[in-house]
Amino acid sequence: MYGINKRTLFAVNVGVWLAALTSAAAVAVAATRPASLPASPSGLDLQTSIECAPEAQALSVTQPTVFMPDDTIVALRPTPGEL
């Protein structure tokens, strides 16, 4: 049987903790990031800089809505002999 030496176990433990701390820092940075985009340096508004073709029109076709009923999952409790 192959045993893990203490130095290898310590290195793996440090690697796992380092990955966890890096992930937590990335989540913290993403959570504190502002939701809006910063102003453009040229001073142009993003909405005014987008050009649409004049012949582009919205479709007036309505899509059918599918209503699905809620499902209930029923399971029987196993008896101790079945486990």
Q: What is the pLDDT of residues 5-41, one digit of tens each?
A: 999 999 999 999 999 999 999 999 988 887 776 666 6
Question: Which band of pLDDT confidence, cut at 50, 70 and 90, is reported for residue 76?
Answer: confident
Residue 44: per-residue pLDDT: 54
**Residues 59, 50: contact at Cβ < 8 Å?**
no
Cα(8)–Cα(2) distance, integer angstroms? 13
What is the arithmetic mean of pLDDT over 59-71? 71
Q: What is the mean pLDDT of the chain?
A: 76
Question: Which band of pLDDT confidence, cut at 50, 70 and 90, is reported for residue 53?
Answer: low
Cα(24)–Cα(16) distance, integer angstroms? 12
